[in-house]
Amino acid sequence: MSFYSVIEKYRGFRFQDYFENVTEEMFLRSLRHAEEERCSEIDLLNFLSPQGDRHLEEMAVLSQKLTRRYFGRTVSLYRPIYLANYCSNGCVYCGFSSLNRIKRRQLTFEEIEEEAAEIAKSQVRHILMLTGEAPGKSDFTYLKTAAKILKKYFDSVSIEVYPLSLEQYSELKEIGVDGLTVYQETYDEAIYDKLHLYGPKKDYRFRLDTPERGAKAGLRVIGIGALFGLGDPMSDGFFSGMHAAYLLHHYPDTEVALSIPRIKKAPETFPITDIVSDSDFVKLLVSFRLFLPRVALNVSTRESADFRDRIVELGITKMSGGSKTDVGGYSGDDPSDEQFEISDERSVEEVAAMLKTKGLTPVYKDWWQLV
């Protein structure tokens, strides 16, 4: 059994028809279930319906209450490091796609050391290691060596690279990697097929099962989500929530984190039809918290400083700061092109100061391995 069984269960389900027929009575019943912490998948559907827009303030208040119950007034901070932007996939929406003529670069091990030392000057001890999806360029040996370098500077090293095997995740865990982030992009299998023209990423099932392979390998944190705007946002939101619930149920010792990245800019050949508004984002955020009170919720620097400031108290428990999305962006004088345009350019110190003004505690380190 895998999460694909849930995809199959809802194959042909008419999400829009269901959403339009959710009554206020149905929604308020689901809200009571959230207060009692006994939500079902039907409740998640109800939260994502237009009724959720009408009751967004009530959802936000309860979301904040549940977040304080399980996470206190803390927000964990992390920083990304981009090691390479070579990619063998033909994804029509991504800045790193091999379809695009961009400046490509891969850090040497010496350059990784320089970047790590520069990033480590901040207090943040959690790092997210990223590459483009080019196994022929950033091979597994390269990933292992890079992870070993980063472990010298950071207590927690997570990866966001191309999907790996169970054995490879187990090997990375042995050298100190403790987290995995992988986005399905869209859970709609037909849309997924159209968006990924060629390359290993075209294998929907292999990517879908990646978080579970990481959990089976014993990685401490598994981060998932969709790139909202590629498919219908609310149905992708439903499957994102269900995927998180599946992982929490089958791997209770694993911390599961949900992200809500929005596609902001894409080539002219890929018009964005499902624009995700700020209110849609908030509805997704609080729906996830009501459905899964203990799930970690992350917001990246894709979002503007003003928007992140406004939503952080609604349920956010993880956020990045002082981010660079270009290879060599922290220490090098010859950085690559960015994967996406950063909207919040504040330093770690500025993000931490913002959190403190809201009565929140920035957490720079909440994990280390005993050896």
Question: What is the DSSP track for 174-241?
Answer: HTTEEEEE---B-S-HHHHHHHB-SSGGG-HHHHHTHHHHHHHTT-SEEEEEB-BTSS-HHHHHHHHH
Digit-coded pLDDT (tens) for 104-159: 899 999 999 999 999 999 999 999 999 999 999 999 999 999 999 999 999 999 99
Q: Is residue 275 part of a domain?
A: yes
Could you tell me which of 214, 235, 227, 294 has the C-alpha nearest to residue 262?
227
Q: Is 345 helix (H, G, I), strand (E, B) or coil?
A: coil
- Percent of the chain exceeding pLDDT 90 equals 86
* C-alpha neighbours within 13 Å on the C-beta side of residue 5: 3
Confidence label for 8 from pLDDT (cuts 50, 70 and 90): very high
pLDDT of residue 275: 80
Q: Is residue 183 part of a domain?
A: yes
pLDDT of residue 273: 60
Q: Tell whether the model's pLDDT for residue 248 goes beyond 90.
A: yes
129: CATH? 3.20.20.70
Query: What is the pLDDT of the chain when averaged over all its residues?
Result: 93
Confidence label for 101 from pLDDT (cuts 50, 70 and 90): confident
Digit-coded pLDDT (tens) for 177-200: 999 999 999 999 999 999 999 999
Residue 191 contacts by C-beta under 8 Å, 6 or more apart in sequence? Answer: 230, 231
pLDDT of residue 334: 59
pLDDT of residue 268: 52
Stretch 214-221: mean pLDDT, rounded? 98
Stretch 277-304: mean pLDDT, rounded? 97
pLDDT of residue 55: 98
Q: Is residue 101 part of a domain?
A: yes
pLDDT of residue 99: 85
Q: Tell whether the model's pLDDT for residue 95 goes beyond 90.
A: no
Stretch 254-283: mean pLDDT, rounded? 82
pLDDT of residue 343: 87
Answer whether 103's CB lies under 8 Å from 114's CB: no
Q: Tell whether the model's pLDDT for residue 69 goes beyond 60.
A: yes
Confidence label for 320 from pLDDT (cuts 50, 70 and 90): very high
Confidence label for 342 from pLDDT (cuts 50, 70 and 90): confident
pLDDT of residue 355: 98
Give the range of the structural domain holding residue 257, as residue numbers without chain letter.
4-9+73-281+295-363
Q: Tell whether the model's pLDDT for residue 356 goes beyond 60.
A: yes
**Total structural domains within the chain:** 1
What is the pTM for the complete model shown? 0.95
pLDDT of residue 264: 72
Q: Is residue 31 part of a domain?
A: no
Rounded Cα distance, 18 and 140, in Å: 45
